[in-house]
Structure 1
Amino acid sequence: MAHLLGAEALHLDFPTKTVFDSVSLGINAGDRIGIVGRNGDGKSSLMAMLAGRLVPHSGRVTVRGGVTIGVLDQADTLDHDDIVSAAVVGDGPEHEWARDAKVRDVVNGLLSDVPWDGRLGTLSGGQRRRVALARLLAGDHDVLALDEPTNHLDVEAITWLAEHLKRRWSAGAGGLMVVTHDRWFLDEVCTLTWEVHDRIVEPFEGGYAAYILQRVERDRQAASIEAKRQNLARKELAWLRRGAPARTAKPKFRIDAANALIENEPEVRDATTLQSLAVSRLGKDVVDILDVDVSYGDHQVLSEVVWRIAPGERTGILGVNGAGKSTLLGLIDGTVTPTAGRVKRGKTVKVATLTQRMDELDEHLEDPVRTVISRLRTSYTIGTGSKAAELTPGQLLERMGFSAVQLSTPVKDLSGGQQRRLQLLLILLDQPNVLILDEPTNDLDTDMLAAIEDLLDSWAGTLIVVSHDRYFLERVTDQQYGILDRRLRHLPGGVDEYLRLRRAQPSTGGPGRSGGQSGSDGGVSAGGLSGAELRAAQKKLTSLERRMDKLSSQIERRRTALADHDQTDFAGLAQEMDGIRALESEQESLEEEWLEVSEHL
């Protein structure tokens, strides 16, 4: 395996701390490396040194002769006056770049909605980010160094990028370094993981799931590792093993000891208890969106939306940028008025929204963290049932990664990730019973995302999440909906089904992209089925959808009825929950059958 570049005894100091102390490592052809670690521990600095963008204070980086390195920075370095086409493929004639399949793929995958002849200064931040990524990927490089490449990308673009990187080089060729907090992306693309911590770089085999497995085993063997990180990793590992066993089975290392740690690990959420608590807090009615249309002038955003949100429901919302996700959230929290139809809210509903902005912190910018928290509740209950525990605001802050020193830090001097965590804590301490999270993972590292997921696991209420972070979305929600063609559609198959439906839609047509396909080939229809087979499959699909809708209504009615049940009648409550679980099991079977039929179609 050819050596591409290496580092020997790298040492790096910042004014307030030593970042790296004698780090030695290398990258070989075929390596696909994910770099993880806490914010501030040096992930971007490590990659910048290896890419030649940052000079270490001692040690050296050597690059094999002829090896080229392409870098995607977090910062926007594009010229405002440049034209999109020139920035991506240069000033040459179109036929020169259009005959390159790789360049066409990049342009279609990232820039289908970007004006090809537009000036960069007129684009949004997300569009400029995609132009920068497209310019890098359109070139030929032996090594790619990507710093947060999934920022500003939606689920579709992230999926496309993962597939592109997997097929960009042949096996055993090229090298990839990527710093990202997107754990799904790490798992999908990377074959090695470097964890940056405590001035060192620790290598692990495999992607994110494999890294978590090995980290649990490492922590088990090293008793001095702090218990908090180990417990969070164990809980996340238990979820990974149940949800994606194929991923954790790939690495070539012994996992028996790690599996023994989670043998008796419970489900990440006590769904029964949380459901009961949610019903008691919210009552029968949460938010009903009934035949709602929303238009802005002549532009219709949502059409005929029907959604009855249940107590304790945990739902993820998917949709391309501009599809209407923010408008849908506005219907729930009352900031958007429907053009047609109506929205009905329960009397006890208290909605709180974690927005992409940080408006909640504006009035506290000059105050120390400790002072801000002390103005709110004196305690917060974490966990449910026998595992419930009362935490002081200080203990809750510590759980969310704030050190004793940071408690005295003014809010304005906190990092973006720290402000994001404080914003969530302020919202939770206000005790809402409906929580909306709009892109909550911005500025958070993987360990802190795990801590927030752990906190949400014990939160009893209705949760609505909009996020391009697929791992987070699947981890904290139990079902997903997609906004497609201005309508809200339930997705029994989750994110994978959403991506299939999006691929089936006609293309929007960008540079080098053809329109959607139409028609069929001879007498054969979708999936190679004959006309009769297609009609039979569509009829079965419709029947399954009706049965699934009927079951959903039954489940909703029985959940709502729990509010009127004697809350001291534990045996009766348990019996009711057994009945609900039986219906949910039947619903899952129907959804699997629906997916099988959909696959044929």
Structure 2
Amino acid sequence: MAHLLGAENIGIAFGTRTILEGLSLGVDEGDRIGLVGRNGDGKSTLLRILAGLQTPDSGRVTRRGGVRVGVLDQQDRLDPEDTVRHAVVGDVDDHVWASDPTIRDVLGGLLTGLDLEQRVEGLSGGQRRRVALARLLAGDDDVVFLDEPTNHLDVEGVAWLAQHLNSRWRPTDGGLVIVTHDRWFLDAVCTRTWEVHDATVDPFDGGYAAWVLARAERARQSAVVEQKRQQLMKKELAWLRRGAPARTAKPKFRIEAANAIIADMPEPRDSVSLAKTATARLGKDVLDLEDVSLTLGDKRILEDVTLRLAPGERLGIVGVNGAGKSTLLRLLDGRLAPDSGKIKRGKTVVTATLTQDVKELDEVSHLRVAEVMAREGTTFQVGGKDVSAGQLLEQLGFGPTRQWTRVDELSGGERRRLQLLRLLVGEPNVLMLDEPTNDLDTDTLAAVEDVLDGWPGTLVVVSHDRYLLERVTDHQIALLGDGKVRGLPGGVEQYLELRAAMEDGAAAPAGSGAPSRGRNNAVGTCAGMGNPRSAAASGGSEAERRQARKDMARIERQMDRLREKRARLDARMAELGQAQEFDGLSAVSAEVRDVDAQLEVLEEEWLSAAELEG
């Protein structure tokens, strides 16, 4: 693959803190790279340096001649005097850009319902973000850098963006580097993962699921990662294996490796036990909406809706922006009264809501994190165990030094974590989360999910993060903007199909058979997005597919023999290590490296055959 751009020995520090040091890496044609790591570890800084928006303190960034680079930064770079149309396509004549299928697809996917003649200065923050993303995608760049592109996108918009990026270039063309906390998006788009930590970068093959597996394997082999982090990683792997079918469509040897790691892990949560505990705390009645209708302004939000929440129920809510998801939460927790119908609350119900803006922390902004938690208590029950305030803070990423930071100095993600902890230790039995993933990195999201797994109560989650919804909720409902609530036994994928069907019906007259355009087609093709390779795997003849199946079986037998040999070598190395026979240990280590190299080659051959077999 041809080289596009690279960094040579770059380093940068902010004050006394080193963010990146002595780092060399590159982006080649065909690379689809996701940057992961904790907030503050330097993901956005690395992206900005590679994109040419920031100069490192040392080292340099080089580009191949003629390479065009496009960047979606977190900063707003739009001219407020521009119209939406001019901001996206510039001075290009209407008949020119309207005949470009890429630009039509981008406008249909990101700016549906937005007046193209409206000035940028009158847009909301989310609308401005969509316009900035549309302007970038309407271009013809060789390398695209995206910093949190899914912010302000609903589930449908995220699915469209994944489809667009997967079809934007041929598999061996273009380069893509993404910073995002959306784990489904990472799996759907990225074929490589860079973990930014401790001023360096560790590369991994594959998306989020492959990164979790590889990191857990490295941790187990090296035995240098603390036990708490290993257990959390294994629990996340258990979810990846037992989750949606699209996420487990991995090569057989990958699934077997995951099974070996998580063989002794229980289900992510004991639903029966939690339901019993929730019933004891709540009784049989929790929250019921009966024939509820609500209109805000001239918009009908709910019309004759009946919804019942059971003890221990875990409900996810999805829907288009403006459909009334947050309004439904306000009805459930009593902050808003309906126009008609009844809301019945159980006598023992205690609700708590994590809002999007976290203004609840303003009253304690002058206190330190540890002082805020001390107000709530000294010990708390989590998953049936007593934990101290400090332990609970550390579980959600507040280390010993960070616990003494003032609340008004916390980042957005830290404020959300602290407020969630305050809600949990207040012992509500109905917890409502409104877009809880905002500003949280992937490691912190896994920690939050781990805490929620052991929380015995009724949980209601509004989110566009489909990974989170599938991970912490047992079923989902949809608000489609027509005043109705629909159950989704097929999960988020069913929601996308419903939305595509609705827009198909709106775009084409009944019986016309006219195909939908723009966003409609984009969303309709997103089923099965969990395996980006699958689209390319359907082209071989039947004879070629039969041969591919034979090749796969042959390769698997070879790999089984190599794995058996690897296990024998591992045992031999352990014996030599105990006997301190270092010469023999060196020779066996060389054999291990040779076996690993052979396995890597066979894995690539297996993947090639699997693509052809389909």
- In the aligned structure 1, how far is the partner of 2:217 from the partner of 2:244? 19
What is the aligned partner in structure 1 of residue 417 from structure 2?
421
Asked whether the equivalents of residues 72 and 132 of structure 2 are also in contact (C-alpha less than 8 Å), the reply is: yes
What is the aligned partner in structure 2 of residue 374 from structure 1?
374
5+ residue gaps, structure 1, are 509-514, 523-601
CA separation of 1:245/1:494 partners in 2, compared to 1, >3 Å: closer, same or farther? closer
What is the aligned partner in structure 1 of residue 496 from structure 2?
499
- In the aligned structure 1, how far is the partner of 2:373 from the partner of 2:135? 45
What is the aligned partner in structure 1 of residue 64 from structure 2?
64
Instruction: Please show how residues 405-416 of structure 1 align to structure 2 within 5 Å.
Output: 405-416=401-412
Letter in 1 for 2:41: D
Instruction: Please show how residues 250-261 of structure 1 align to structure 2 within 5 Å.
Output: 250=250, 256-261=256-261
CA separation of 1:521/1:442 partners in 2, compared to 1, >3 Å: closer, same or farther? closer
Q: Give yes or no for the alignment of 1:474 onto 2:470.
A: yes
What is the aligned partner in structure 1 of residue 90 from structure 2?
90
**Secondary structure in 2 matching 1:304:** strand
Q: Give yes or no for the alignment of 1:519 onto 2:510.
A: yes
Deviation at residue 253 of structure 1 after TM alignment: 7.5
What is the aligned partner in structure 2 of residue 78 from structure 1?
78
Letter in 1 for 2:151: N
CA separation of 1:101/1:257 partners in 2, compared to 1, >3 Å: closer, same or farther? closer
Asked whether the equivalents of residues 237 and 258 of structure 2 are also in contact (C-alpha less than 8 Å), the reply is: no
- In the aligned structure 2, how far is the partner of 1:448 from the partner of 1:487? 34
Return the match for 2:459 from 458, 463, 488: 463
CA separation of 1:221/1:249 partners in 2, compared to 1, >3 Å: closer, same or farther? farther
Instruction: Please show how residues 291-370 of structure 1 align to structure 2 within 5 Å.
Output: 291-370=291-370
Q: Give yes or no for the alignment of 1:125 onto 2:121.
A: no
Using the size of structure 1 for normalisation, the TM-score is 0.83
Q: Deviations over 1:362-404 (max 9, x none)?
A: 1111111111111112221122xxxx32101111001111111
Asked whether the equivalents of residues 206 and 250 of structure 1 are also in contact (C-alpha less than 8 Å), the reply is: no
Deviation at residue 231 of structure 1 after TM alignment: 1.5
- In the aligned structure 1, how far is the partner of 2:174 from the partner of 2:403? 45
5+ residue gaps, structure 2, are 514-614
Q: Give yes or no for the alignment of 1:403 onto 2:399.
A: yes
CA separation of 1:255/1:328 partners in 2, compared to 1, >3 Å: closer, same or farther? closer
**Secondary structure in 2 matching 1:311:** coil
Q: Deviations over 1:458-489 (max 9, x none)?
A: 00000000011111111110000001211011
Letter in 2 for 1:381: Q
**Secondary structure in 1 matching 2:30:** coil
- In the aligned structure 1, how far is the partner of 2:143 from the partner of 2:25? 15
Instruction: Please show how residues 221-300 of structure 1 align to structure 2 within 5 Å.
Output: 221-244=221-244, 247=247, 250=250, 256-300=256-300
Deviation at residue 256 of structure 1 after TM alignment: 4.6
Asked whether the equivalents of residues 293 and 338 of structure 1 are also in contact (C-alpha less than 8 Å), the reply is: yes
Deviation at residue 492 of structure 1 after TM alignment: 0.5
What is the aligned partner in structure 1 of residue 144 from structure 2?
144
- In the aligned structure 2, how far is the partner of 1:6 from the partner of 1:253? 33
Letter in 2 for 1:477: T
CA separation of 1:252/1:83 partners in 2, compared to 1, >3 Å: closer, same or farther? farther
CA separation of 1:23/1:244 partners in 2, compared to 1, >3 Å: closer, same or farther? farther
- In the aligned structure 1, how far is the partner of 2:249 from the partner of 2:341? 50
Q: Give yes or no for the alignment of 1:38 onto 2:38.
A: yes
**Secondary structure in 1 matching 2:452:** helix
What is the aligned partner in structure 2 of residue 24 from structure 1?
24
**Secondary structure in 2 matching 1:495:** helix
Deviation at residue 257 of structure 1 after TM alignment: 4.6
- In the aligned structure 1, how far is the partner of 2:298 from the partner of 2:190? 46
Q: What percent identity do the matched residue pairs reach?
A: 61
**Secondary structure in 1 matching 2:45:** helix
Return the match for 2:390 from 373, 391, 394: 394
Asked whether the equivalents of residues 20 and 199 of structure 1 are also in contact (C-alpha less than 8 Å), the reply is: yes
- In the aligned structure 1, how far is the partner of 2:507 from the partner of 2:388? 57
What is the aligned partner in structure 2 of residue 489 from structure 1?
486
Asked whether the equivalents of residues 241 and 258 of structure 2 are also in contact (C-alpha less than 8 Å), the reply is: no
Q: Deviations over 1:426-468 (max 9, x none)?
A: 1111110000000011111000000000000000000000011
Q: Deviations over 1:509-566 (max 9, x none)?
A: xxxxxx51232369xxxxxxxxxxxxxxxxxxxxxxxxxxxxxxxxxxxxxxxxxxxx
The CA RMSD measured in Å over matched residues stands at: 1.7
Asked whether the equivalents of residues 213 and 255 of structure 1 are also in contact (C-alpha less than 8 Å), the reply is: no
Asked whether the equivalents of residues 243 and 471 of structure 2 are also in contact (C-alpha less than 8 Å), the reply is: no
- In the aligned structure 2, how far is the partner of 1:59 from the partner of 1:204? 24
CA separation of 1:326/1:258 partners in 2, compared to 1, >3 Å: closer, same or farther? closer
User: After alignment, is 178-187 or 252-261 more displaced?
Assistant: 252-261
Asked whether the equivalents of residues 210 and 248 of structure 1 are also in contact (C-alpha less than 8 Å), the reply is: no
Asked whether the equivalents of residues 314 and 477 of structure 1 are also in contact (C-alpha less than 8 Å), the reply is: yes
What is the aligned partner in structure 2 of residue 3 from structure 1?
3
- In the aligned structure 1, how far is the partner of 2:263 from the partner of 2:417? 31
CA separation of 1:327/1:289 partners in 2, compared to 1, >3 Å: closer, same or farther? same
Q: Deviations over 1:10-31 (max 9, x none)?
A: 1111113111111111111111
Asked whether the equivalents of residues 206 and 251 of structure 1 are also in contact (C-alpha less than 8 Å), the reply is: no
Asked whether the equivalents of residues 278 and 456 of structure 2 are also in contact (C-alpha less than 8 Å), the reply is: yes
**Secondary structure in 2 matching 1:506:** helix
Letter in 1 for 2:387: L
**Secondary structure in 2 matching 1:375:** helix
- In the aligned structure 1, how far is the partner of 2:308 from the partner of 2:71? 47
What is the aligned partner in structure 2 of residue 540 from structure 1?
none
